[in-house]
Amino acid sequence: MMWNWWFWLCLALCTADQYRDEAVRIMNETPLIDGHNDLPWQILKKFNGQLQLSEANLYYLEGTHTNIPKLKTGFVGGQFWSAYVPCDTQNKDAVKRTLEQIDLIHRMCQTYPETFLCASSPADIRLAFQQKKVASLIGVEGGHSIDSSLGVLRAMYYLGVRYMTLTHNCNTPWADNWQVDTGNDKAQSHGLSEFGEEVVKEMNRLGVMIDLAHVSVATMEAVLSVSQAPVIFSHSSAYQLCPHRRNVPDHILQLVNKTRSLVMVNFYNQYVSCQKEANLSQVADHLDYIKNTAGPEAVGFGGDYDGVDDVPTGLQDVSGYPDLIAELLRRNWTETEVKNALAYNLLRVFDEVEQASSHSVLPNENFIEFSELQDTCRTSYGYQDYSQQDHSHQHRPGVLPVVLTLPLLYLWQP
């Protein structure tokens, strides 16, 4: 009887090692791309963004889910770092604060060039894979960061931003957030406003991925009908398994399949189990469910590390990814399905977003109506309804006088 027990125990341990070894082999070939990590926010809070402080050294950083050794142990080869600022910056200093977080991500690459390669294209990610570095991409978390300005959106694209979450936990003047679905917030746009559609179209033109994590279901539906390119949910899970309004309901998963879009599963316990505690197996359940409902090309990883406090047992930090991959292999995921989820699904969406972009088309110069903005601390230069101000010394917005245009055209001649 004792020998029988030992036999089954040894068999279980050997099998477990087999799946873990297979996960390591696969991840050596195809590193993981994660859709959302808030380490830059932690660096801001802990060190006011000062990377050169000795205690901010990313090789030895403590008290976070993420540091360089953990990334290497987790076989993370691509990371969308979140340029996040809270909703209370909206209509205040959101743009400034977001620019500082974008700058911080660039400084991470400059401070640790042996580890991080700042990336802004699928080709850059593939290059980072070849060089065994972490492709470091920028995602802006919350449309409030552009202050309802297509010009700011474009400027952030030029600085390397390659996805924007349309809302965080608050409405923008042009899109509704997920708390509308709970009744804790009032619908303003009932999905997308007319200007919200212009934001989506300009993101398509530029090649900025549209992220629908944090938005209301009506906003999801509106974007999926307007966007000419696939979209992502950078850190969301399956509503059917955990009915939290931050998760993706089944009818949206069907649209994700139809539009060749992508859901990157969130590890926050409240979105995994709808309880304070969760475990690795339950995260695998979400990955299974999305793969089976939306298709194997529609699933990825968006851990939300360093943006949440409670993460599942077995996935305490970014080093735990190989154990999750081993669990998927144990559940009979094929090597192709695993590699797709690790990297190729995101690369495919990124490629298609770039293919749908059109930089030969002139930028969208539409603007949101001034009446739709909170104007406590803002000026109204450029708007047509500011009759009380003296504009005799100003040119019309967007119009360059002919006297300046002709010399410039002469100078630009090849």
Show which residues are catalytic: 36, 38, 141, 168, 214, 235, 304
CA dist., res. 360 & res. 54, Å (int): 46
Nearest Cα neighbor of 103 from 48, 35, 163, 33 is 48
316, two tokens:
């305490």
Distance CA 265, CA 34 (A): 9
Taking a C-beta distance cutoff of 8 angstroms, is the pair 202, 363 a contact?
Answer: yes
In whole angstroms, give the CA distance from residue 273 to residue 42: 25
d(CA 367, CA 356): 23
Are 230 and 256 a contacting pair, CB within 8 Å?
no
Identify the residue whose tokens are 């390659």: 162
Burial of 414 (0-12, 13-18, 19+ CB in 10 A): exposed
Query: What is 225-274 written as a DSSP string?
Result: HH-SS--EETT--BTTTS--TTSBPHHHHHHHHHTT-EEEE---HHHHTS
43, 49 in Cβ contact below 8 A? Answer: yes
